[in-house]
Amino acid sequence: MNIVLHEPEIPFNTGAIGRTCVATKSTLHLIKPYGFILNDKNIKKAGMDYWPLLKLREYISYEEFMAGVEEERKIALPKVWYATTKAHKTHTEVSFSPNDYIVFGKESAGIPEEILVDNEEQCIRIPMLEEARSLNLSNSVAIILYEALRQQDFPFLSKEGALHHLQWKE
- Binding residues, by number, are 105, 126, 134
Task: Supply the CATH classification number for the domain 2-151.
Answer: 3.40.1280.10
Q: Is the dihedral of CA 42, 43, 44, 47 positive or negative?
A: positive
Query: For the chain, what is the total number of helices (H) and then of strands (E)?
Result: 5, 7
| Tens digits of residue pLDDT in 102-151 | 999 999 999 999 999 999 999 999 999 989 888 999 999 999 999 999 99
- Binding residues for S-adenosyl-L-methionine, by number, are 105, 126, 134
Domain layout of the chain by residue ranges: 2-151
Tell me if the pTM is above 0.85. yes
Q: Is the dihedral of CA 158, 82, 61, 99 positive or negative?
A: positive
Cα(71)–Cα(135) distance, rounded to whole angstroms? Answer: 32
Question: Looking at residues 59-76, what average pLDDT do you find?
Answer: 92
Question: Looking at residues 156-164, what average pLDDT do you find?
Answer: 86
Nearest one of 137, 107, 164, 149 to 23, comparing CA atoms? 149
